[in-house]
Structure 1
Amino acid sequence: MDVYFKDSQAQMTAPIRDGDAILGVIDVHSTTPEAFREDDLRVLVQFTRALEAVTRIIRQAEEQAQIMTENQRLRLEAEINRREIERLSHELTRSGWQDFLNGRRGVTGLTLEHNRLSNQTDWSQALIEASQNRQPVRLVQGDRETVAVPVILRGQVIGAIEVEPEPGQAEAETVEMVQAVAQRLALSLDNARLLEEAQETTAQEQRISELVARFQSAESVDDLLQMALSELSQSLGAEHAAIRLGRPGRQMEGASYA
C-alpha cells in the first residue's frame, strides 16, 4: 500500500525517461479495487511517451538556446577582436608612416610639369582638401581643372595625388583612374617603406658590429673613447658629442668631440 494514499485500492505507475535516465514517475491511484485495466495502462504509457517527447523538445530547445547564446558571445568577441586588430593596424600604419616621414631624407613629394620632374613638398589646395576630406576633390579655376585623390592605407591617409586632365576628359573616368592608381600605390609604398626600414636596420647592425670589432682592437681607454665619439659623430652627423666617465661632482676622466 502506498503510504501517501492509504485508501488506495488500485495503482498504476509509469516512468518518465530521457534516454537511459529516469526523470520521474507518474503514479495513479484509485480507491476502487481493480479499477485499472490493460487499456488504462496503455493510455498511461502513451501519456508518459508524449510527456517524454515534450521533455526532449524542451531540453533540445534549451540546448539550442545555449548554443545560440554561446555563438552570439563568440561572434561578439570575434568582432571586438577584429576591431581591436583593425585599430592596432591603423595605429601601427599611422605611427610607422609618421616616423618614416619625420626621419626621411629622401623625396617626399614629386611634381610633373611639362614632362619635367621636380622635388616639391608644398601642398596645393586640391591636395589638402583631398587629404583632409578623405575623398576625391575637383577644383576648377578658369580653364584649369584639378582632380585630387587621397592615398589611403588601412584607413590612414598617407598622401594625396592630383592631376590636371586634358580638356574634355570625363570627370568620372579621371577620378576612377586616379583612385585605382592611389589604391595600388598605397600598398606598394608601404612595402617599399618596410624594405627601406629593414635595410636601414641591417646597415645599422652592420655598423655596430664593425664598431664592436674596432673596440676589441683598442689598447687603451683613451682609444676607446675616441673611437666611440668619432663613430657616433660620423654615423649620426652630430656636430657635438661627449663622454664622461665617473659621476657628476667628482674628478672624472673625459673626452669630447665637436
Structure 2
Amino acid sequence: VLFDEDNNPSIFFAAPIYHTARESTPLGLLVVQYNASILQNLIVQQNELAGPNSFGTLIDENQLYLANGQNPDLLYKTVAPLSADKVEHLISAGRLPNLPPEELTANQATLAAALADVSPAEPFFTTSTQPVQQVAVVWLNAHAEWQVGFFQPQDTVLGIVTTQTRKTIPLILVIAITVAVASIGATRLLAAPIVMLTRLVERIAAGNMNVQVPVTTQDEIGRLASAFNTLTSQMRDLLSDLENQITERTLDLKRQAVQLQTAAQVAQEASALQDLDTLLNRTVTLIQDRFNFYHAGIFLLDERKEYAVLRASNSEGGKEMIRRGHRLRVGEVGIVGYVTSEGKPRIALDVETDRTHFAHPLLPETRSEMAIPLVVRGNIIGALDIQSQEPNAFDEGDVTVLEVLANQLAIAIENSRLLTDARQTLEELQIAYGKTTTEAWQKWLQRANKPIGYRFRGVEIEPISEKPPEAKLALQQGQNITAKAENAQTESHTLAVPIKLRDQAFGVISLSIEGDEVSSDFTELIEDISDRLAIALDNARLYEETQSRAMQEQVTGEIISRIRETLNIDTMLKTTIQEIGEKLNLHDIAIRIDLQDNVTTGETR
C-alpha cells in the first residue's frame, strides 16, 4: 500500500507483457491501481465469519492497520508506536501517511507484542483488554509479511460450552446423588468388618495382645481376618522374645557396669596403695565383693620367670595355697602356666573337658576357669586367675572387662615395685651420704684437735667443751630432747635439738627456757634454725676443704715446677728437700736412694 501527496492509499498490481507465450523477454509492464479502501470492504464483509461478534483485521509487515472490521478509525495507523527514524523512513517511502507521529499509532503495545510472538505453529492468543478477545492469526504469503487476524470475545467463544454445561448440571446432580446413595450403602456393608478390625487394632495398640478376630466368611474380609490373627500371634511371640532379650541385655549391661566400676576402683585405689601385698589383697577382695566368684587369685612371676607364685586370694582354699607356697611352672602347668607363657587370655568353660586346667584339691568346686595375663610394657609379670562354680560362667564381655582390670592391676603392681625400689635406693643413698657426712665432720674435728662449741648467757659469747646430758642424748638419738631443769630457782626446761644433715647428727643446739613447758611453735622454730645451720655449716666445711685442697695443689705444683727445672739428679734431690722444707715449714728432711734393698725411702722430721 502506497500513499500519495494527499495521503490517499492505493494498491498497485503489475504484470509483464510478452509478444508470445514462448518469448522470455517482456515487451512492457501492465500496472493497475486500486483504492486501498477495497481491503476494508473485503474485511468488513467477513465479520462474524468465525462466529457471533467476530471481526477481522489486516496488518502489513510494519504492523500498519490496512483494514479493521470493528473500528475503521484505526485504518492506516500502526498497532504500536514506531521509532522516529523508522516513521520518517516509511513516510518518505510513501508507506505511511504524512501525518504527525501521534496520529499514526493506535497505541496498542500489548497487542503488538502478542502479534510479534505468534507463529504458524501456535497462531492463537488471548488479549488482556476488556472485553477479553480470543485471536487467531494467519499469514497471506510464505514471507509472513501481511497478517489476517480474527477477534472474537471470550464470552462468545465460551458461550456454547456454558450453555452445554448448564444443560448437563441437572443430569450430573442426579447421577451424583444416585452414586452417593449406592456408595453409602456399599460402604456400610463393606466397612462393618473393617470398623471391627480397627477397634481390635486400637485394643492391641493399648497393649492387649490376646485379641482374636472372629472369621465368619471365606471372602476377602475373612482372609484379612485370618491374616490379622496370624500377624497378632507373630507379634505376641516377637514381643515375648524382645522382652527376654531386653531382660538379658539389661542384666549383661548391669554386670558389665559393675565390672567396669570395679576396674575403675582398682585403678583409683591402686594409685593410693603403695604396699604391694596390700594392693593385691585389696584387689581380690574387690573382685569377690563385686563379681562373687568362687575363687580369685593373683600370681606373680619369680625373678627367673620360671614359676608363677600365688600371692593373693579371696577364697579359703586359695589362702591355704599361699601358706603352702603354691606355684605353677610357666608354660607347663595349668591355665595360669599357659597365659604367663603366651601372654594371651585363656578360658576353660568346662574344666572337666579342658586338659590345660590344673585341678587343685583345695578348690574342688571349680567348674570353669579364666586366666588373664598381667602385662606391663610388653613384659609378662603374672596372671589374674578367676574360677567359678558354674560351667560356662564366662563370655567375651567378661574377658574384655577383666582385661581392663588386669591392665590396671599390672600397672599398679609395677608402680608399687618401682616405688619400693626407689625407696630402697633412696634409703641406701641417704645412709651412704650420711656416713660420708659423719666421716667428713670427724676428720674436720680431728684437724681442729678439739670439739668446737660456744655459749651465750646474755652478756657475752664464750667457748665450751663439755656437753650436758640432754645434748649427749640428742646427739646419740638424733631427736629433740626436752628435760626439766634441776636445782633451778625458777621453773625452766632444757631443750636440745640435734644439728642434722642427711639424718646424721653432728652437733646440738641446747637452750634453757623458763616456763611450765616448751611450746611446739618454739620447738619448730629451733628445728628450722637447726636445719638451716646444718646446711650452712656443711657448706662452710666444704669451702674450707676446697681451699685446703687448692692450697695443697698449689704447693705441690710449685714444688714439682722447681724440681723439673733441672735434669741433674743431685740437684733435683737438693731442690726437693729445700722446697719441702720452705713450703711446709719443716726443719729436718732427708731423702735417700738405696739400691741395696731395692727400696727408695724418704724420712721427714
Q: Do the two structures share a fold, i.e. TM-score over 0.5?
A: yes
1:243 aligns with 2:591: yes
Q: Given the alignment of the two structures, is residue 119 of structure 1 paired with residue 463 of structure 2, yes or no?
A: yes
In 1, Cα distance between equivalents of 2:443 and 2:484: 31
User: Contact 2:497/2:509 (CA < 8 Å) preserved in 1?
Assistant: yes
Q: Distance in 2 between matches of 1:122 and 1:86?
A: 30
Q: Is the 8 A contact 1:126 1:139 kept in 2?
A: no
Q: Could you tell me which runs of 5 or more consecutive residues in structure 2 were left unpaired when the two chains were aligned.
A: 1-345, 347-393
Identity %: 25
Match of 1:122, SS state, is coil
Contact 1:109 1:119 in 2 (8 A): yes
Does 1:102 pair with 2:457? no
Q: Compute the TM-score of the two structures, normalised by the length of structure 1.
A: 0.65
Does the CA contact (< 8 Å) of 1:229 and 1:257 recur in 2? no
Is this contact kept in 1: 2:430–2:503, CA < 8 A? no
Cα distance in 2, alignment partners of residues 60 and 254 from structure 1? 75
Contact (CA 8 Å) 1:131, 1:150: kept in 2 or not?
yes
Larger Rg belongs to: 2
Equivalence for 2:398: 54
Give distance in 2, aligned partners of 1:228 and 1:106.
Answer: 34
Counterpart contact for 1:226–1:255, Cα < 8 Å: no
Q: Would you say the 8 A contact 1:147–1:174 is kept in 2?
A: no
Question: Aligned match of 2:569 in 218, 221, 230?
Answer: 221
Q: Deviations over 1:101-127 (max 9, x none)?
A: 222369822233453333333323332
Equivalent residue, structure 2, for 1:194: 542
- Greater displacement, 197-206 / 136-145: 136-145
CA contact (8 A) 2:559 2:580 kept: no
Which residue matches 1:212? 560
Q: CA deviation at 1:52?
A: 3.3
Write the deviation string for residues 147-175 of structure 1: whole angstroms up to 9, x where unpaired: 3222111111111122334x458632654
List gaps (5 residues or longer) in structure 1.
1-22, 24-49
Asked if structure 2 preserves the Cα contact closer than 8 Å seen for 1:229 and 1:256, the reply is no
State the one-letter code of the partner of 1:108: I
Change (3 A) 1:111 1:247: farther
Instruction: Give the Cα–Cα distance (whole angstroms) in 2 for the partners of residues 153 and 120 of structure 1.
Output: 23
Aligned residue in 1 for 2:551: 203
Compared with structure 1, are the counterparts of its residues 108 and 170 closer, same or farther at alpha carbon in structure 2 (3 Å cutoff)? Answer: same
Q: Equivalent residue for 2:518?
A: 171
CA contact (8 A) 2:475 2:498 kept: yes
Partner of 1:142: 487
Residue 201 to residue 143, structure 1, CA distance change in 2 (3 Å): same
- RMSD (Å) for aligned C-alpha atoms: 3.5
Partners of 2:408 and 2:524 in 1: CA distance: 49
In 2, Cα distance between equivalents of 1:214 and 1:176: 57
What amino acid sits opposite 2:416 in the alignment?
Q
Whether the aligned pair in 1 keeps the contact of 2:497 and 2:526 (CA below 8 Å) is yes
Task: Tell me which residue corresponds to 1:158.
Answer: 506
**2:512 is aligned with 1:180:** no
Aligned partners of 2:470 and 2:481 also within 8 Å: no
Choose the corresponding residue for 1:132, options 476, 486, 498.
476
Letter paired with 1:64? Q
Cα distance in 2, alignment partners of residues 222 and 137 from structure 1: 68
TM-score, normalised to structure 2's length? 0.31
Aligned length: 210
Q: 1:65 to 1:122 in 2, by over 3 A?
A: same
1:14 alignment counterpart:
none
Asked if the contact 1:130–1:150 (Cα under 8 Å) also holds between the matched residues in 2, the reply is: yes
How far off is 1:60 after superposition? 3.3
Contact 2:592 2:600 in 1 (8 A): yes
SS of the equivalent of 1:171 reads coil
